Structure 1
Amino acid sequence: MKKSLFLYLSILAVLFAVFTYSFLGSEVKFEQERYKKTTTKLRDSINLLTTKLADANYFSLEKNENAQNYFDSGSSEKVIQYEKLIPAVTEKLLDLNANPKGNPFTGQDQIGANKFIINKVKVLNHRWIIADFSDGDIWGEVLLKYFVNDDESFSFEVNQSLLYQKQN
């Protein structure tokens, strides 16, 4: 009776080990396939977002070599680095928000009690800037020309400005 009990227990242990090995092997294979599908999906998403970001930055000084080369005049004393130019132009334009009548380069006069100030600035190339402005109720956009003067100061010129209809 003891021999048959040990025989049954041994057979049961072997069957348990085989089924456990089979289950864990298929579980590992399933997890590997799931990992592969997930990483493929994530890579595709990253590639799609990278492409969209490149498309969105197509009109920007950071990506436009022709506009960057405009500031490299060939003479070593008159080279302007666009990496430093973009924050300087943006800061100068945003500093004009402190004007009591609003930023003069929104292209709009004060309509209500609030003044128009520039919120966001994007330097498109060596000559153009697009900016978003608002007074808290009314929003608009402006296309500006900018110039780097000989003393490395900036001057701006409003080319076109528009206001969006007020949302109720």
Structure 2
Amino acid sequence: MKKSLMLYLFILAILMNLFTYSFYSGELKFQQERYDKTTKKLRDSINLVTTKLADADYFSLEHNENAQNYFDNSASGGKVILYEKLIPVVTEKLLDLNANPNGNPYTGQDVMGGKKFIINKVKILNHRWIIADYNNTDLWGEVLLKYFVNDDESITFEVNQTLLYQK
């Protein structure tokens, strides 16, 4: 009787080990497949975001080699202006004009309802154009500006077109 009990326990232990092994090997395969699917989804998402970012930055001085070459005047004996340093200078100069008591003059809008218009966001498109977003807390708009880097390295702006959105 003792031998048959030991035999039954031994067979039961082998069956338990066999079922445990098959369960964990199946679980490992399932986890690996799930990991592969998630990794593929994430790679696709990263590629999509990278493509969208490249499309969004298509019109920017940072990615426009022709516009960058405009500032390389070394062939004609002129001065080389680094676009990496120019972008923050132009942006800062335009945003500094927000301190004007009548609002930023390059929004193309006068004070309305006692509220001045200020520029919030600036994007330098190329060697000549800037697009900017402005508001006066009630009304919002966008402006297309021309900018010029003069020989004395001063920067001048000119309003080309402005758009004020309906309330």
Measured against the shorter chain, the TM-score band is: over 0.9
What is the match of residue 3 of structure 1?
3
Q: Which amino acid aligns with 1:135?
A: N
Distance 1:83 1:6 in 2: 81
Distance 1:77 1:143 in 2: 28
The alignment status of 1:22 with 2:50, answered yes or no, reads no
CA displacement, residues 128-168 of structure 1 (integer Å, 9 cap, x when unaligned): 000000000000000000001112111000000010001xx
3-state DSSP of counterpart to 1:102? coil
What is the match of residue 153 of structure 1?
154
What is the match of residue 38 of structure 2?
38
Distance 1:2 1:125 in 2: 92
CA displacement, residues 54-112 of structure 1 (integer Å, 9 cap, x when unaligned): 00111000110100111111257611111111111000000000000000000111111
What is the match of residue 49 of structure 1?
49
Mapping of residues 1-168 of structure 1, within 5 Å: 1-75=1-75, 78-166=79-167
Q: Which amino acid aligns with 1:124?
A: L
3-state DSSP of counterpart to 1:85? helix
CA displacement, residues 40-60 of structure 1 (integer Å, 9 cap, x when unaligned): 000000000100010011100
Name structure 2 gaps, 5 residues minimum: none
Q: Which amino acid aligns with 1:10?
A: F
3-state DSSP of counterpart to 1:27? helix
Q: Which amino acid aligns with 1:127?
A: R
3-state DSSP of counterpart to 2:61? coil
Name structure 1 gaps, 5 residues minimum: none
Distance 1:109 1:159 in 2: 16
Aligned CA-pair RMSD = 1.0
Distance 1:8 1:152 in 2: 94
Q: TM-score, normalised by structure 2?
A: 0.97
State the 1:36 CA deviation: 0.2
3-state DSSP of counterpart to 1:62? helix
State the 1:127 CA deviation: 0.2
3-state DSSP of counterpart to 1:78? coil
- % identity of equivalent residues: 77
Moved more, 76-85 or 49-58: 76-85
CA displacement, residues 108-131 of structure 1 (integer Å, 9 cap, x when unaligned): 111111100000000000000000
Q: Which amino acid aligns with 2:54?
A: A
